[in-house]
Amino acid sequence: MRLHDLKPRPGAKHRRKRLGQGESSGHGKTSGRGGKGQTARSGSSIRIGFEGGQMPLIRRMPKRGFNNARFTVRFVAVNLKSLNSFENGAVVDEVALRSLGLANGPVKLIKILGTGQLEKKLTVTAHAFSATARAKIESLGGVCNLIVSKVEAVKAK
């Protein structure tokens, strides 16, 4: 096989649509642009949602009501099995978790989840613990310290 033998795969190349080549070509007269109007003109482009000056549907719909997504509390999830990378008896806090790359991202609050087995006695400080994570940490003699965030302090009042 040589360079002059190379061909594109069958169906990979298409003939270009030759517009304005007479009525019988199927692309004559209006050249696939429909009738008259704004879209038939050259250089025309209409933004998405534009309805010819009529008030668009998205602006006609009422924007009332409550959306709870604005008030959700987001946590970075850290599994118990990833805490095995610390030494026995270590103090695991937010700084230690972020330095090892176990709690990355812009979310500030950290929650420890009970996925996996913990093999070391640790003192873990976090914003939240799942029930299984707390039970597994304390069964090995570890300690769970809860950081009370501003959000939880406001909710408690």
CB 138 within 8 A of CB 144: yes
Query: 147: domain range?
Result: 72-156
Q: Tens digits of per-residue pLDDT, 17-27?
A: 999 999 999 99
pLDDT in tens, 43-86: 888 899 999 899 999 999 998 888 888 888 899 999 999 999 99
- Pick from 116, 137, 118, 115: which is nearest to 126 by CA? 137
pLDDT of residue 4: 95
Residue 138 has pLDDT above 60, yes or no: yes
SS3 124: strand
The answer as to whether 1 is a domain residue is no
pLDDT attached to residue 3: 95
Pair of tokens at residue 142: 């570890």
As for how many domains the chain has, the answer is 1
What is the CB neighbour count within 10 angstroms for residue 128?
18
User: Is the entire prediction scored with pTM above 0.75?
Assistant: no
Residue 44 covered by a domain? no
Q: What is the CATH classification number for the domain harbouring 124?
A: 3.100.10.10
Report residue 57: phi and psi, to 5°: -60, -40
